[in-house]
Chains A and B, each alone.
Chain A
Amino acid sequence: MMTHDITTLEVGQVLATQTFPLTRDSLVRYAGASGDFNPIHYRDDVAESVGLPGVLAHGMLTMGVAVSPLLEWCGTEYELVSYQVRFTKPVVVDPETGASLEVQVSVGALIESEDGTPQVRCDLTVTSDAGEKVLGKAQAVIRAA
């Protein structure tokens, strides 16, 4: 049973929105899972010494989190053709209050691929609790799995 038919989507349509709270625990967990142990992601003294406003979330954590709402929308019916982002603003994660990422997934374009199967470019808007867009040109193209 198909729960989503991507051929009926309209450009601009919002598919999903979700907010993710990030804490220092999230950063340590991501460091271990990814193998990226750059100390600017868990040590205030190191972040400060290189002139950063504070400990930052890994860009790749933000990228990984941002696509989650789309994957849940897709379920097992669709898979990714491509996924890209630009890292435009750092996400500062406060030791006590953390940070949060608000993700909105919308339809960016309907694409006819070379083999004629329909694909959809989904645009991800990711906003930090500081009100800044933290990713630029965040786009994921999906096709039937």
Chain B
Amino acid sequence: MAVNEAIIGRDYPPLPPYLVGREKVREFARAVFSKLPIHHDVHAAQDAGYPDVVAPPTFPVVVQEGALQVLLADPDSGIDYSRIVHGEQRFDYSRPVVAGDELHATIHVTKVQSLGGHSMVTSETRINGADGDHIVTAISTLVVRGGE
């Protein structure tokens, strides 16, 4: 089944807020081999001008993952979950995520393209802080492989 192009421009309801935990930031930093002290040590982060430990740049994927589940759960999307490959990923930052941030995410679909029997679905997950200010937008392109 082809991906339904009617999902282009579709907005989905906001996700429940995600509270960024200090130990989660440290766990993620260890998992991506980041030894930079601001990801682990509160004092190092504060000396650098941040209120708490700083999440590594790809940490927002944790929130994006939840947002993509909302998109994939849309029965109208026609996206076959078992045929998805991650094609491209981009982050546009206003500032780094830090422990203590309450992240508010909304996802919308920006592009659906057919390419050689495959479909490419691009979505943007916009992530704001509790004050409504933009923190980061995570842009993901999923490749949905066509049937053989």
Using a CB–CB distance below 8 Å, which chain A residues touch chain B? 20, 26, 29-30, 32-36, 50, 59-61, 63-65, 67-68, 71-72, 75-76, 79-87, 140, 145
Contact = CB atoms under 8 A, between A and B. Distances in A.
A81 B27 contact: no
A64 B57 CA distance: 7
A85 B58 CA distance: 11
Interface of B: 24, 27-28, 30-36, 38, 47-49, 56-58, 61-62, 65, 82, 85-93, 95-96, 139
A86 B120 CA distance: 13
Given A64-B32, A71-B34, A76-B48, A87 B87 contact: yes
A53 B78 CA distance: 28
Contact of B93 (A26, A29, A34, A81): A81
Contact of B31 (A64, A72, A75): A64
A67 B85 CA distance: 21
A60 B31 contact: no
21 contacts: A20-B33, A34-B65, A36-B65, A59-B89, A61-B32, A64-B56, A64-B58, A65-B33, A68-B32, A68-B36, A76-B47, A80-B91, A80-B96, A81-B92, A82-B90, A82-B91, A83-B58, A84-B139, A86-B87, A86-B88, A87-B88
Nearest to B36: A71
A71 B58 CA distance: 12
B65 A84 contact: no
Contacts of A60: 58, 61, 86, 89
A65 B32 CA distance: 5
Contacts of B30: 29, 33
Contacts of B56: 64, 67-68, 71
Given A67-B58, A145-B48, A84 B31 contact: no
Contacts of B57: 64, 67, 71, 80, 83, 140
Nearest to B87: A87
B95 A79 contact: yes
A32 B26 CA distance: 12
Contacts of A85: 88-90
A126 B69 CA distance: 29
A98 B99 CA distance: 32
A50 B92 CA distance: 33
Contacts of A76: 38, 47-49
